[in-house]
Amino acid sequence: MTTAAMVRNRVAGLSASTELQGTPRIIVDAFGGDHGPGPVVEGCVAAAREGHTVILVGHEDVVRAELSKYPDATSLAIEVIDATEVIGMDDHAAQAVRAKRGASMNVAMRALKDGRGDAVFSAGNSGAVMASALFTLGRLDGVRRPAIAAVVPLLTGRVVIVDAGANADCDADNLIQFAYMGSMYVERMFGVARPRVGLISNGEEPSKGNALVLATHPRLAESSLNFVGNIEGRELAAGHCDVAVCDGFTGNVVLKLAEGVSKLCFDLVRTAIRSRFHYKLAGAVL
């Protein structure tokens, strides 16, 4: 059995054996992100009001002080787990994860491993999140490397870019595994039967691409995946595929460029509206 087949079968088996009963319990790193626990707690309170179960992890006194700003918080399904340390955005990912065992991120991962929740959310240092998950939870049998999947919304549907930043240097085996994991993620999370898998390249033709793309293309074409060929950057936003496969360096550049262009477009629209007297009132809303 090939490594890709092992990954496919292992993930499929895991999905079948982990059907959630009732509302999933989401463990949240309260100190992940650039703006402290305030916005995180605010979002968790909003989610709990919608019926979700939330477990906040961080300095307990600080988290409870933030929760006290919301009178109804005591009646919501919110639990707090104390954590004494924080991994910063500028910390070296692997070193910080190993050195700060009491960090909110690490405590959250251990809570997941111990069965106290069903998933972990963190807006913190993405490299540290990956390292913490890898060191604490491990990998599925047969999976060589974990990857970051970025869900990018489109006018119709979405595209999942994988890898979006975890592995700057990859080989063809890595990309094949990313393709299977991404395909199963889209099928499982969004109900898409036979997700279309594209390989990010600088041209549609099979002969285009760097050494990595050229080595990966024929193997994807021979796989059991619904491979639609090479995908150029402009085709990502057009919805030509459901899963866009690439190395983490390329994926992160694509993702950050998309974020920058989105902000630029919003700023241009806002500036244009505010520059017209009749539209200034509408512009104030933006």
Task: Tell which wins on pLDDT, 13 or 247.
Answer: 247
Type of residue numbered 274: R
* CA 270 to chain CA mean position, Å: 29
b/e burial code for range 174-211 (CB count within 10 A of at least 16 → b): bbbbbbbbbbbbbbeeeebeebbbbbbbeeeeeeebee
The pLDDT, as a whole number, for residue 269 is 86
**In the chain, domain spans:** 22-137, 149-258
Looking up tokens 């087949």 gives 5
The answer to whether 3 and 177 have CB atoms below 8 angstroms apart is: yes
pLDDT of 247 > 90? The answer is yes
Q: What are phi and psi of 108, to 5 degrees?
A: -65, -45
The pLDDT, as a whole number, for residue 156 is 87
Looking up tokens 């629209």 gives 269
pLDDT in tens, 213-237: 999 999 999 999 999 999 999 999 9
Q: Is CATH 3.40.718.10 the classification given to domain 22-137?
A: yes
Peptide bond into 163 cis (omega under 30): yes
Task: Tell which wins on pLDDT, 10 or 181.
Answer: 181
pLDDT of 13 > 60? The answer is no
Task: Tell which wins on pLDDT, 259 or 21.
Answer: 259
**Number of other residues whose CB lies within 10 A of the CB of residue 217:** 22
The pLDDT, as a whole number, for residue 78 is 97
pLDDT in tens, 153-179: 998 899 999 999 989 999 999 999 999
pLDDT of 19 > 70? The answer is no
Reported pTM? 0.81
Looking up tokens 């240092």 gives 125
